[in-house]
Amino acid sequence: MALVFAGEAAATATDRSLHVHGGYGFAEEYDIQLFYRRARAWALVLGDPARECRRIADLLLGPSGNTA
């Protein structure tokens, strides 16, 4: 659950920061573009967040029978 929460928090924080920086957020001279790309990638490094949420739900509530 911490992985999913941290990934969502990082994505939200960088989205807001990119909005504040405006066009500067996309320029390679500023670090916000790097943080934005990293925040998006971190969520996928250890697997799909939606799949992780389903796995947590199965652990908490029991298997649903849906393997998709």
What pTM, to 2 d.p., does this model score? 0.66
Q: Is residue 27 part of a domain?
A: yes
Give the model's pLDDT for residue 13: 92
Q: Is residue 68 part of a domain?
A: no
Tell me the average confidence (pLDDT) per consecutive run of 10 residues in the chain, 68 residues long. 83 89 79 87 78 86 72
Q: Exposed/middle/buried for 16, CB within 10 Å: 0-12, 13-18, 19+?
A: exposed
Give the model's pLDDT for residue 51: 84
DSSP string for residues in 8-49: HHHHHHHHHHHHHHGGGGGSTTSTHHHHHHHHHHHHHHTS-H
Structural domain tally of the chain?
1
Q: Is residue 66 part of a domain?
A: no
Q: Are 8 and 49 in contact (CB under 8 A)?
A: yes
- Structure letter (DSSP) for residue 54: H
**Looking at the chain, how many residues does it have?**
68
Q: Is residue 67 part of a domain?
A: no
Give the model's pLDDT for residue 65: 67
Q: Is residue 10 part of a domain?
A: yes
Task: Residue 28: give the domain boundaries.
Answer: 2-61
